[in-house]
Structure 1
Amino acid sequence: MSGVMKPLIREATSADIDPATETLRDAFADYPFTRHTIAADDHLGRLARMQRLFLARIGLPHGRVWVSDDAAAVAVWTTPASTGLERVFTELAPELGAIAGDRAAIAAATEAALAPHRPTTPSWFLGTVGVRPGQQGRGLGRAVIEPGLRAAEAEGVPAFLETSLESNVALYRRFGFDVVAEIELPHHGPRTWAMSKKP
């Protein structure tokens, strides 16, 4: 009998918003993309507000969110069943702009640069995934991503993600993703890889 227990992964509820926000804030503390698009002033506080919005206003009501039982790992997807996202993002735009602070124009230019490379057909979009520092290397990231990949496969649609860490490219290739675009983000932003996994 193995001494390694498989992590318990479950769909998130509103009770998970606080711990999941903390996990994503800490996981993305030094992430090149968010450092580029969110002001340095109170960066971690701003980052937490952004991740909370994505969880509470996008993922839980309109997408699918999986967490490890203690929310040390979180994956937030939008899906072909996600409706009304354009309206929600329009509603959130002022708050997202305030969170970006003096990087708001850069954040807008970044979104414009990424938009042409995003799926135009039904797909599962991995909007954010993170594992709490100190809990990494235990397979939690894989465990929390896999339910979304299985769901996309069952629906016969691609899965899609973007990453601004080159080290993540090899990781996601092991999940079956291929690079479909490399984007040099404007205003000296980090290189970002768009990746897709065919069903």
Structure 2
Amino acid sequence: MIDNIGGARPAGPADLHAIADTLASAFADYPWTRWTVAADDHPRRLRALQLYFTEKVGLPYGRVWTAGDNAAAAVWTTPGIDVPPEVFTGPELAALYGDRAPYAIEAEEFLAPYRPSRPAWFLATIGVRRDMQGRGLGQAVLAPGLAEADRTGHDAYLETADERNVRFYERFGFETTADVHLPGGGPRTWCMIRRPNTAAPR
């Protein structure tokens, strides 16, 4: 049974595997992950990475919301809570990226100067299962994080490598602060920021 299609709820450990399935579906052909995740056994690697970041980053150190019986999910890191560096540098993570690990590291280092210098809500990942897209679930799981950013008076920040997403996020008050190409022939990537208490979606 699908829960309230327009509403989101905080995710918990029992949701992890369904969320990983959803995010793997949403990111199957995404330029960023195609660039940073090895092509061999790509679907398995992609799902495992989404599970890793939701389980190892989102739940313990950030916030995760889900909607539509886990057909959509958003994972945020939050200001004031530091994720231990080893979470992002451990051998398990490098193994999941495979032979693209150096490219993933290079991409992160390249984008670092464009990221907020003050504490902000960082939208680490968001996705809607392909067969459930177009039903408002993306907005449903995005909205709670934006409301929390407004409540705490912080900026919200994200990066996307899909130009269609830029228009979607602009509806919620995000503005592009950088439009770059990742080094070595990587995908075009937009860095976007939303100031607190921005008007509702247009």
TM-score when scaled to structure 1?
0.93
Q: How far is the alpha carbon of 1:69 from its aligned partner?
A: 4.6
In structure 2, what is the equivalent of residue 37 of structure 1?
36
In structure 1, what is the equivalent of residue 149 of structure 2?
152
Does residue 7 (structure 1) correspond to residue 6 (structure 2)? The answer is: yes
In structure 2, what is the equivalent of residue 114 of structure 1?
111
Any conservation in 2 of the 1:183–1:193 contact (CA below 8 Å)?
A: yes
CA distance in 2, matches of 1:102, 1:6: 39
In structure 2, what is the equivalent of residue 164 of structure 1?
161
Q: How far is the alpha carbon of 1:123 from its aligned partner?
A: 0.5
CA distance in 1, matches of 2:106, 2:183: 7
CA distance in 2, matches of 1:161, 1:79: 12
Residues 84 and 108 of structure 1, relative CA distance in 2, 3 Å threshold: closer
In structure 2, what is the equivalent of residue 75 of structure 1?
74
Q: How far is the alpha carbon of 1:100 from its aligned partner?
A: 1.2
Does residue 26 (structure 1) correspond to residue 25 (structure 2)? The answer is: yes
In structure 1, what is the equivalent of residue 59 of structure 2?
60
Q: Count residues with an aligned counterpart.
A: 193
Does residue 175 (structure 1) correspond to residue 158 (structure 2)? The answer is: no
In structure 1, what is the equivalent of residue 138 of structure 2?
141
Could you list the per-position Cα deviations for residues 3-47 of structure 1 after superposition, in whole angstroms to 9, with x for gaps in the alignment?
Answer: xx6523100000000100000001000000000000000001000
Q: How far is the alpha carbon of 1:95 from its aligned partner?
A: 1.6
Could you list the per-position Cα deviations for residues 141-183 of structure 1 after superposition, in whole angstroms to 9, with x for gaps in the alignment?
Answer: 0010000000000111100000000111111000100000112
Q: How far is the alpha carbon of 1:106 from its aligned partner?
A: 1.2
CA distance in 2, matches of 1:42, 1:65: 27
Q: How far is the alpha carbon of 1:186 from its aligned partner?
A: 1.2
Contiguous gaps of at least 5 residues in structure 2:
197-202
Deviates more, 1:109-118 or 1:35-44: 109-118
Equivalent AA in structure 1 for residue 76 of structure 2: W
In structure 1, what is the equivalent of residue 199 of structure 2?
none
CA distance in 1, matches of 2:49, 2:110: 20
Any conservation in 2 of the 1:177–1:195 contact (CA below 8 Å)?
A: yes
Could you list the per-position Cα deviations for residues 57-113 of structure 1 after superposition, in whole angstroms to 9, with x for gaps in the alignment?
Answer: 0000100000015100000000013223324323xx322211111111111111111
Equivalent AA in structure 2 for residue 126 of structure 1: L
In structure 2, what is the equivalent of residue 98 of structure 1?
95
Equivalent AA in structure 1 for residue 23 of structure 2: L
Any conservation in 2 of the 1:131–1:140 contact (CA below 8 Å)?
A: yes
Any conservation in 1 of the 2:58–2:64 contact (CA below 8 Å)?
A: yes
Does residue 127 (structure 1) correspond to residue 124 (structure 2)? The answer is: yes
Q: What SS class does the counterpart of residue 113 from structure 1 fall into? A: helix
Residues 83 and 135 of structure 1, relative CA distance in 2, 3 Å threshold: same
Q: What SS class does the counterpart of residue 85 from structure 1 fall into? A: coil
Contiguous gaps of at least 5 residues in structure 1:
none
Residues 36 and 153 of structure 1, relative CA distance in 2, 3 Å threshold: same
Q: What SS class does the counterpart of residue 195 from structure 1 fall into? A: strand
Equivalent AA in structure 2 for residue 60 of structure 1: L
CA distance in 2, matches of 1:130, 1:38: 17
